[in-house]
A and B are shown apart, each in its own frame.
Chain A
Amino acid sequence: MNDTIEIRWHGRGGQGAKTAALLLADVAFNTGSYVQGFPEYGPERMGAPITAYNRISKKPVRVHSNIYSPRYVVVVDDSLLDSVDVTAGLAKDGAIVINTEKGKEEMVKGLGGYKGKVYTVDAKKISLEALGRYFPNTPLLAAVVKVAGIMEKETFLKEMQASFRHKFANKPEVIAGNMKALEMAFEEVR
């Protein structure tokens, strides 16, 4: 269905790709969309490549298959480029967002000739600066929301503030850092 945005996440077990997909479903839901957020389950453990998916639509989503022709791909760990065909089925007029400390040119080289748009963000730098720890999923969430044009920055930040207040009700001290990580990633993804 053309009016559905399909997003595929590639990460490693423990990096929060599933959580990021569920958070993205949350914010899209909060702004009135029909959503799906689901991981592909198996016996994977910490560090093993995993996949998660999002569908975001103005109409109810009925399809229950995995996503093979995504409009957007998010790569939570650039080392996956060596082992996983992350651009498989990715729309030529779509985009890929990669978390990396390296330059964009190097990433493009690793994508086997993908012709669409390539965005990078250094989620590690942002996370360490804003949170003092490495949680790549928060910056990547902001990056994909911006790249996919899912919503305006102000709306997104407002939604995430509410979401974090709920999620971190028991440790409100981490909310400000997470919000900062989102803002930085929104600005720094390119």
Chain B
Amino acid sequence: MAVSDIKKLGTKVSWKDLTEGMMIAGAGVSREFLTGEWSSVKPQFDERKCTQCLLCTPVCPDSCIPVVDKKRGAFDYDHCKGCGICVKACPAGAITMEGVE
């Protein structure tokens, strides 16, 4: 079977278009599912304070902090749920939550 079109998992989809047994085929399909809208607050990144220790990347439960060319990249706000774990992990105080003291 082709890779499942996860966008079909929605309130408008007919039962006929669901996959057999609700199986989801294909790797990385969760990227299609934009969980970023689940949050009301987002972390902000201050590049000037960042020491490039990269401790924030592995602690993100949604893999929203990429490393590009061995450097910390910009937040993936499409999938960031605003949990704030990266704020706690950053030893340099380079990440803050918008609207959170």
- Complex contact flag A–B (Cβ < 8 Å): no
Contacts from A to B (Cβ < 8 Å): none
